[in-house]
């Protein structure tokens, strides 16, 4: 019996890996999250530092250095940015999915409209801990991190808080 339980748990684990959501790139979020009616989420992101985080890496060596790419691209080492890949440009910089999780399973309208369904499909509502995966002393340019202050600079909420 014990062996069977272990087997089933392992099987579920392997299946969950096989079904992990894919990174789709920020442009896929644009069509539904741009414009005044939708809080100009896209426009705010595009103007901000996160969207430009790849250009910030000045030299070719830095642009290929996994140590820099980990925080200056989207989904590095998790199926997102891969140097030299044909799709790499989609994942340059800190895109929507760096914070909200890989979007292949939640980006459909029927799922997105329903927060519970979206979260089940892998959508993340990020917290301070997630920011600190990149905003920490491993960054050569770390300037400290005050969640409230930093949040104000990237805020793109537009709906009434529930």
**Footprint of ligand HEC on this chain (CB under 6 A)?**
24, 26, 28-29, 31-33, 38, 41-42, 45, 49-50, 52-53, 56-57, 62, 65, 67-68, 70-72, 94, 96-100, 103, 107, 109, 112-113, 115, 118, 123, 125-126, 130-131, 133-136, 138-143, 150-151, 153-154, 156-159
* Shortest distance, position 58 Cβ to ligand HEC, whole Å: 6
Distance CA 100, CA 125 (A): 6
Q: Which is nearer to ligand HEC, 8 or 132 (CB)?
A: 132
CB 29 within 8 A of CB 74: no
List C-alpha distances in Å: 88 to 24, 79, 112. 11, 11, 25
Residue at shortest CB range from ligand HEC: 103
Neighbours of 21 (CB within 10 A): 17
List C-alpha distances in Å: 75 to 22, 66, 83, 109. 10, 12, 12, 23
* Shortest distance, position 11 Cβ to ligand HEC, whole Å: 29
* Shortest distance, position 40 Cβ to ligand HEC, whole Å: 10
């Amino acid at each position: 019996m014990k062996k069977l339980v272990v087997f089933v748990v392992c099987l579920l684990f392997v299946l969950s890996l096989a079904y992990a959501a894919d990174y789709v790139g920020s442009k896929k979020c644009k069509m539904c999250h741009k414009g005044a009616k939708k809080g100009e989420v896209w426009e705010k992101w595009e103007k901000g530092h996160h969207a430009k985080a790849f250009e910030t890496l000045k030299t070719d060596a830095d642009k290929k250095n996994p140590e820099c790419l980990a925080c200056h691209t989207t989904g590095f080492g998790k199926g997102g940015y891969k140097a030299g890949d044909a799709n790499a440009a989609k994942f340059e910089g800190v895109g929507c999915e760096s914070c909200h999780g890989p979007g292949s399973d939640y980006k459909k309208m029927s799922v997105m409209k329903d927060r519970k369904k979206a979260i089940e499909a892998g959508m993340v509502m990020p917290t301070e801990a997630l920011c600190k995966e990149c905003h920490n002393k491993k960054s050569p340019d770390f300037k400290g991190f005050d969640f409230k202050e930093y949040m104000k600079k990237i805020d793109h909420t537009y709906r009434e808080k529930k």
